[in-house]
Homo-oligomer: A and B are copies of this chain.
Amino acid sequence: MGKNTHETKPAIALKDLAECGQCTCFNLRKASRIVTQYFDDSMRSIGLRGTQFTLLANAFAYSPITVTRMSEIMIVDRTTLGRNLLPMEKSGLIKVESGDDRRTRIVKITDVGKRKLTEAYPLWKETQENIKQKMGLENWGSMISNISNLVDCMQES
């Protein structure tokens, strides 16, 4: 395995590597991780995660609703939503029943779920305001608007 006369080309150039630091996917995921942990922390005392708060709020808003319809609204994979609902059903926050169309499964928020949502809302609100305050209202608004725009752009195609 002596040194070849033809140099091995580097995998990618240094400038390309720097570019990869701007990856839309990486940066969005990184921000998601940090913000998810922040919301998770704020609701840990009442046994809810940030994602579950969102699920509960949507269940409340649209209850009763089919799994697939809810997945379309939240822009999440149908099977993902189905699985995410399981721990919430186990803890009694929602219930899932068969609909008249017996293929469908109908998601309904329970009284326990409504109470939990009432309990969670002030925590969510405080956390949300904290983030706005940390970022500055203008920056935050710009970010949310940019993100919404991104989601719209990607949905079109």
Q: Which residues in A have some Cβ–Cβ distance to B below 8 Å?
A: 9-12, 16-17, 19-20, 22-36, 38-39, 50-51, 53-54, 57, 60-61, 74-77, 109, 113-115, 117-118, 121, 124-125, 128, 131, 134-135, 139-140, 142-144, 146-151, 153-157
Contacts and interface: CB of A to CB of B under 8 A. Distances in A.
Instruction: Tell me the interface secondary structure of chain A in the complex.
Output: helix
17 contacts: A12-B60, A16-B125, A17-B57, A24-B39, A25-B38, A28-B32, A28-B35, A28-B147, A30-B75, A30-B147, A31-B151, A34-B155, A35-B154, A134-B153, A134-B154, A135-B153, A143-B149
B135 A149 contact: yes
Contacts of A131: 24, 150, 153-154
A30 B144 CA distance: 12
Contacts of A135: 146, 149-150, 153
B27 A117 contact: no
Nearest to A133: B153
Nearest to A156: B134
Nearest to A146: B143
Given A17-B61, A30-B75, A139-B149, A23 B54 contact: yes
